[in-house]
Amino acid sequence: MATIKFLGAAQEVTGSCHLVSAPGAGNILLDCGMHQGGDAIERLPTEQFLFEPAEIDALVLSHAHLDHSGLLPMLVHAGFNSPIYCTKATAELLEIMLDDAAGLYMRDLERENIKRERRGQPAVEALYNLDDVKKVLGLCRGIAYNQATEIKPHISVTLHDAGHILGSAIVQLDINERGQQKRVVFSGDLGKKDSPLMKDPTLLTEADVVLMESTYGNRDHRTMDDSILQLEQVLHETWEAGGNVLIPAFAVGRTQEFLFYLGRMHQEGKLDGWQIFLDSPMAIKVTKVYDRWLHTMDCEDVKALCERDRSFLKDFLPRLIASVSSEESMAINRIKSGALIIAGSGMCTGGRIRHHFKHRIWDKRTTIIFAGFQARGTLGRMLVDGMKKIKLFGDEFLVRARIETIGGFSAHAGQAALVNWSANFSNQPKIFLVHGEPEAQDALAEKLYSEKGISVTIPALRQSFAF
């Protein structure tokens, strides 16, 4: 019988990795993501492949976020050499994401080894290098949505729009196991129905096995209208107080959505005098990729830009300044008030946002806006949970800044949308909840059973099931 083994994002949100094996058909890996939180030099050695990389026949990547793709360079370094199937937009974004992550990793590793040399300690060996990143990109096979593609004899994959970020996909695997047809559906990360840039997640009706994300399984988001009003109010109050705003944002998806809403506020005269800084070289590159895919997006305002051959980055929000160099980034810290700074990383685990915290988090006029899920163990989660002191770059800082969470900007489906998506399957498949913390999964499981009569399984790490 075919089996599915849960090797990551089992009763946790990050580290997506699931192995589908079918006798006579092969081993297919769904995602190969890293866990988020902590320093990469400390974290990566703890990431272990619970399979033999050279024995994987194909990999299907749901989307480009690092918690779904970040271990791909380590995978090829360990012997993986098979095709990686994803959408063409995901392949474009993946190059930016992996190059950036590798650059940060190599720089951190170099600094760590200089320290170790001074102490007479052995150097830390790199777990992958830039050649491995190039190899990953060379293995990518971009395929269109809704197009069945044979990836092995007896196995085909169809990618459906997940509505999460550009190129994100729901994965449908069709397996012919000795004449018997079996279908596995992996939701990846499902987006919201009211996302301004993305189309609604595709509703599927037939499957034997469903792997469904459950990040927000225990709650719904505020409506988009309420969230925009909250954003407008928070920005206006901070402007009146003479402060600055810091927005930790993922380079892919969240940043572009924020730019869209800020652009619309500018068009409507609701942006006061804010100067907007996009302080992330990676997010700037990603936004240019979004420019190239404007024609695929589900938004009349953006389509109008596309028809006039104008840029999402430059024309929709003329107050925007893209800060590429470290010198440009540091110059922002000399601004006393009126700076709205969007910088990575989204969970504050690294990137330029931590440098801006150093200069502003102790100032009570500062507002920090969180607009997405903050995983356990990350600095973002600690701040959302009310931590009053943090340590950055070896120094301790008081947290006097105003902390605001605006849930409606999340790129994930909320509880009601997850219930509706799973209830759309007409043939009662076996449903596994993945990509969620235990309390969220328990709440979603109870909701599915009480409202729809659907029983689900919450797998543990390394647990395997036959189907």
Residues 189, 327 within the same domain: no
Instruction: Name which of 240-254, 265-279, 293-307, 370-384 the model is least confident about.
Output: 293-307
Token representation of residue 298? 């589900």
Residues 211, 291 within the same domain: no
Mean pLDDT for the stretch of residues 287-304: 73
What is the structure's pLDDT at 301? 55
**pLDDT (tens digit per residue) in 268-293:** 999 999 999 999 999 999 988 988 88
Supply φ then ψ for residue 127, to 5 degrees.
-85, -15
Contact 449, 441 (CB under 8 A): no
**pLDDT (tens digit per residue) in 219-235:** 998 888 999 999 999 99
What are the start-end ranges of the H helices in 268-352?
A: 281-292, 300-307, 326-332
Residue 215 scores a pLDDT above 80 = yes
Residue 446 scores a pLDDT above 60 = yes
Average pLDDT, the chain: 92
- Domain limit, last residue, from 362, 383, 409: 409
β-bridge mates for residue 158, sequence order: 172
- Domain count within the chain: 2
Mean pLDDT for the stretch of residues 393-405: 95
Residues 383, 456 within the same domain: no
Residues 139, 200 within the same domain: yes
Contact 286, 396 (CB under 8 A): no
Residues 178, 310 within the same domain: no
Residue 314 scores a pLDDT above 70 = no
Mean pLDDT for the stretch of residues 95-124: 93
Mean pLDDT for the stretch of residues 421-442: 96
**pLDDT (tens digit per residue) in 36-66:** 876 788 889 999 999 999 999 999 999 999 9
What is the structure's pLDDT at 403? 97
User: Rounded CA gap, 431 and 424, in Å?
Assistant: 12
Residues 328, 389 within the same domain: yes
For the purposes of burial, counting CB atoms within 10 Å of the CB of 370, is it exposed (0-12), middle (13-18) or buried (19 or more)?
Answer: buried
**pLDDT (tens digit per residue) in 365-386:** 999 999 878 888 899 999 999 9
Residue 313 scores a pLDDT above 60 = no
- Domain limit, last residue, from 367, 387, 409: 409
What is the structure's pLDDT at 196? 78
What is the structure's pLDDT at 303? 57
What is the structure's pLDDT at 133? 98
CATH number for the domain that contains residue 391: 3.40.50.10890
What is the structure's pLDDT at 387? 96
What is the structure's pLDDT at 414? 95
Residue 306 scores a pLDDT above 70 = no
What is the structure's pLDDT at 442? 98
pLDDT confidence band for 461 (50 / 70 / 90) = very high
Residue 126's domain spans which residues?
3-219+411-466
pTM: 0.89
Pairing of strands 275-278, 320-322: parallel
CATH number for the domain that contains residue 71: 3.60.15.10
Mean pLDDT for the stretch of residues 118-138: 96
